[in-house]
Structure 1
Amino acid sequence: MVALTFLTRADCHLCDTARDTIAEAVAGRDVSVHEIDIDTDDDLSGQYGWDVPVVLLDGRQHSFHRVDANRLSKALVALGA
């Protein structure tokens, strides 16, 4: 199973778009999605600031600001999902 962590914040239009893209990319795949609002975590907020949304795959940064569906899908396949 691939662990996808989605770092976001409230009232973020890029995050809303990314959320939809992620949902499409993970549909039917062996992926666990964990969404975190960075404003609830001082360390994450300090690390990522205004660079949300951020997608981490198995703990490694895959994308930020915009999530490309094809690139994410290929990365998931490469990781066995």
Structure 2
Amino acid sequence: MIEVTLLTQADCRFCEIAVAVLARVAQEHPMAVRHVGLDTDDGRALAARHGVAFAPGVLLDGEMFGYGRLSERRLRRHLAGRDARPHAGGSEDIQR
């Protein structure tokens, strides 16, 4: 499951779009989405650490994915590539 952190602010149209995009994409890629306000200590710290210039900021598994208007196409491509990678340590990696 993908851990998504969505850094948001009040009255942000791009934040509303990001929520809708994540809801659609979550139908195909299991994810847990945590909303963090940029007006909170945690939100400001995450934004500073990851270089989020403005809302919304999107972190995937703790890594910066982007900020501003969330591209559904880019997110789907990223997740499809991630799903296609072999998982380290899995039994499918063992050849005898």
Q: TM-score, normalised by structure 2?
A: 0.70
Residue in structure 2 matched with residue 52 of structure 1 by the alignment = 55
Gap change, CA 1:73 and 1:4, over 3 Å in 2 = same
Residue in structure 1 matched with residue 77 of structure 2 by the alignment = 74
> Does the 8 Å CA contact 1:2/1:79 hold for their aligned counterparts?
no
Which is higher, the Rg of structure 1 or of structure 2? Answer: 2
Q: State the Cα deviation string for residues 42-80 of structure 1 (Å, max 9, x = none).
A: 4246x2675110111111111110100011112222333
The secondary structure found in structure 2 opposite 1:74 is helix
* Matched-pair identity in %: 32
> Does the 8 Å CA contact 2:53/2:67 hold for their aligned counterparts?
no
Gap change, CA 1:49 and 1:76, over 3 Å in 2 = closer
The secondary structure found in structure 1 opposite 2:7 is strand
Q: Which structure would you say has the larger RCO, counting Cα contacts within 8 Å and 6 or more residues apart? A: 1
The secondary structure found in structure 2 opposite 1:79 is helix
Counterpart residue identity of residue 45, structure 2: D
> Does the 8 Å CA contact 2:56/2:69 hold for their aligned counterparts?
yes
The secondary structure found in structure 1 opposite 2:39 is helix
1:43 to 42, 45, 48: 45
Counterpart residue identity of residue 39, structure 1: D
Aligned residues: 80
1 or 2, which has the higher strand percentage? 1
Q: TM-score, normalised by structure 1?
A: 0.81
Counterpart residue identity of residue 43, structure 1: A
